Structure 1
Amino acid sequence: MKILETENCILRPVTLDDYVDLYEYYKIPDVVKFLPIKKHKSYSDTKRFIKSFFISNYEKGKIGHYAIVSKKNNKVIGNVGFNNISKSTKNAEIGICINPKYWGNNISVELVEALIEYGFKELDLESIYAMTYEDNIYAKNVLNKLNFKHERDFNKKFINTGNKAIKCSKYTLYKKDYISL
């Protein structure tokens, strides 16, 4: 995967050496609440996850999530990317997970902007979409600011909520709309 750069961050592939930084936020229940994984209880959990979710998909030639490395301290503060797509994919889901210590620093917009540009200009995607849950007002604000359009609402069950159905929303940005901006 191509290394990307924003004003405040470097986006690069996740490596096994990142396990301490990733464990720092994957051990927090609120971080994984709406992810398809359980909170990590040990460094071993995080190492296994890095191997299966990140490295395995890179080895298969998929374009996936990047480590978000802060330029200020060279620390991995989260991960962001497309949810393991092939190079021939035309529609891709974007995902982001940031360590709560860095919430509220308004880096989500710059991270998603970098992925949008990469997705449309270099990967030739036709659309990029994101799913968010009802209470995540911040994510909805970021998506609206970047001209994603609300497409639909739906209920989804999450393993970390006891399989309780949570209202979610899908937002999409189409290449034709991106080009016209």
Structure 2
Amino acid sequence: MVILSTERLILREFEKKDFPSVHEYASDPKVVKFMPWGPNSPSETRRFIENAIQNQIKKPRTSYELAIILNNDLIGGCGITIHSVSDKRGEIGYCIRRDQWGRGLGTETAAKLIEFGFKELQLHRIIAKCDTSNHASYKIMEKNGMTKEGVLREEKRIHGEWRDSCLYSILEYEWIKE
């Protein structure tokens, strides 16, 4: 079981009992504005939690979906996915409930995911992507020492519209220097 902690947060595995809190942020149109999913129906949120729980027992494990907990309150979700075990490449992502925006919690979450990726998962390269209009997300990446590599044109279909994504990355030796 993965449990990570920061100064203010606990990042832990999802559990079935998390449904109401997950559905609160996953069904909010403003929260999922730049996501290729959502706003979620109750069945979509249940399916997400079921998949996250199933990934916890897969061997080898390549997907870590974690609940973001602040003062015993589930305020969002985050994750790291290993895209290539042999090339040691992974990708992080995060989604935080709207009433918690602007408090540095995304930056803190991303920092812990990056540390977990390099220290525990032994990754060499970690990427993150966000919609080109999602200024808050790419600020999180930049604050964590990630470098903008470019723009992936029409990379995702979000709410019926093709959208460009910013691609950021950090390499293990860059992270060690910080």
TM-score, normalised relative to structure 1: 0.88
Q: Which amino acid aligns with 2:44?
A: D
In structure 1, distance between residues paired with 2:99 and 2:147:
29
1:24-63 matches, cutoff 5 A: 24-42=24-42, 44-52=43-51, 54-61=52-59, 62=61, 63=63
| Deviation digits for residues 13-48 of structure 1 (CA, Å, limit 9, x no counterpart) | 001100000010111123233333232233x43222
In structure 2, distance between residues paired with 1:177 and 1:143:
14
C-alpha contact 1:69 1:76 (8 A) present in aligned 2:
yes
Residue 159 of structure 1: how far off its partner (Å): 4.1
TM-score, normalised relative to structure 2: 0.89
Q: Which has the higher strand share?
A: 2
CA RMSD of aligned residues (A): 1.9
Task: Confirm or deny that 1:75 pairs with 2:70.
Answer: no
Q: Which has the higher helix share?
A: 1
Q: 1:113 matched to which residue of 2?
A: 111
Q: 2:17 matched to which residue of 1?
A: 17
Task: Confirm or deny that 1:176 pairs with 2:173.
Answer: yes
CA 1:103–1:118 in structure 2 vs 1: closer, same or farther (change >3 Å)?
same
In structure 1, distance between residues paired with 2:112 and 2:129:
18
Structure 1 unaligned blocks of 5 or more? none
CA 1:171–1:119 in structure 2 vs 1: closer, same or farther (change >3 Å)?
same
In structure 2, distance between residues paired with 1:106 and 1:77:
13
In structure 2, distance between residues paired with 1:84 and 1:27:
26
C-alpha contact 1:33 1:158 (8 A) present in aligned 2:
no
| Deviation digits for residues 133-178 of structure 1 (CA, Å, limit 9, x no counterpart) | 1111111112112111111102223241x1x221211000000111
Q: 2:75 aligns to what SS in structure 1?
A: strand
Q: Which amino acid aligns with 1:152?
A: G
Q: 2:133 matched to which residue of 1?
A: 135
C-alpha contact 1:81 1:96 (8 A) present in aligned 2:
yes
Q: 1:158 matched to which residue of 2?
A: 157
Structure 1 outlier segments of 4+, above 4 Å: 84-89
Moved more, 25-34 or 137-146: 25-34
C-alpha contact 1:57 1:84 (8 A) present in aligned 2:
no
In structure 2, distance between residues paired with 1:170 and 1:141:
12
In structure 2, distance between residues paired with 1:89 and 1:50:
28
Residue 107 of structure 1: how far off its partner (Å): 0.9
Give the total of aligned pairs: 175
C-alpha contact 1:82 1:93 (8 A) present in aligned 2:
yes
Q: Which amino acid aligns with 2:75?
A: I
